[in-house]
Amino acid sequence: MSADLTAEDEALAALLAGCAAGDAYALERLYRDVSPLLFAALVRILRRRSLAEEVLQEAFVAIWQRAGSYERSKGRPMAWMMSIARYRAIDVVRRERRAPLLVPELPESAADEAGAESADALPLVREAAFERCLALLSPVQRECLQLAFVGGSSHGDIARVTGNALGSVKSWIRRGLESLRSCLRASA
C-alpha cells in the first residue's frame, strides 16, 4: 500500500510495542522523540500554547492507551501518532469556534518562550511521488490543502484568510484531493 518502513519508523514502532506491553520507559522515549513534532503541529492549529499543552497531554495518554492497537496497516507510526494529536486539536478548534483567522506564521513570542526550538524543519521523509503529484496541483489548490492540513483551518477560515468565495475553496480542495489521489495511485 505504501513505502516500506524506514529505520526511524521501525524504532518508533518498537517503542509503541513497548508501550503496549506496559513499559513506561518506552513512552518516555517516544515522548522525547516525537513530542516536538506533535507540539509544533498543535501550536499551529490551536494558536494557544496552553491549549496545545493540554491537547499534547491528551494525545500521549491516548497513544499509551491505544498503542496495543497499532499495527502496520494503521500507517507509519509517526502518521498514526500525528493523526491522534491532530484530530483532537481539530475537534477542540471546531468546538470552541476559535478557528485561526489569521494565518500562517507561528507567534514569535511562543517560539521564544519554548526555548529549545530547533532550526531544522521536521525530519519528514521526502517522497518523490508526493512531491511530483503536489507540483501538479494549481498553486491555489496547494495553498488550500496546506492551510487545512497544517493549520487545521475549516473551509470558512480558508475563504476568509485567502479572500475567496466559500464555494471556490470547497471545489479547490475537492479537486486538489482528486488530482493528488489519481496521481499518487498512478505512481504507486
What residues between 37 and 66 interact with other proteins by CB under 8 A?
37, 39-41, 43-44, 49, 53, 56-57, 60-62, 64-66
* Alpha carbons 144 and 172: distance in angstroms, whole number: 7
**What is the residue whose three cell numbers read 476559535?**
98
Q: Which is nearer to other proteins, 1 or 163 (CB)?
A: 1
Backbone angles phi, psi at 120, to 5 degrees: -80, 150
Bin 164: left if φ > 0, else alpha if -120 < ψ < 50, else beta: beta
From the CB of 31, what's the least distance to other proteins, in Å? 6
Structural contact between residues 173 and 145, judged by C-beta atoms closer than 8 angstroms: yes
Q: Is residue 104 reached through a cis peptide bond, with omega within 30 degrees of 0 on the bond before it?
A: yes
From the CB of 165, what's the least distance to other proteins, in Å? 15
Report the site for other proteins in 71-90 (rule: CB under 8 A): 73-76, 78-80, 82-83, 86-87, 90
Instruction: Rule CB under 8 A: say whether 126 interacts with other proteins.
Output: yes
Q: Which is nearer to other proteins, 31 or 48 (CB)?
A: 31
Instruction: Rule CB under 8 A: say whether 101 interacts with other proteins.
Output: no
Q: What Rg, from alpha-carbon coordinates, does the chain have?
A: 18
From the CB of 48, what's the least distance to other proteins, in Å? 13
Instruction: Rule CB under 8 A: say whether 20 interacts with other proteins.
Output: yes
5, 11, 130, 160: which one binds other proteins (CB under 8 A):
130
12, 13, 51, 67: which one binds other proteins (CB under 8 A):
67
Instruction: Rule CB under 8 A: say whether 23 interacts with other proteins.
Output: yes
Neighbours of 158 (CB within 10 A): 25
Instruction: Rule CB under 8 A: say whether 94 interacts with other proteins.
Output: yes
What is the H or E stretch that residue 88 is in? helix 77-96
What is the H or E stretch that residue 144 is in? helix 139-151
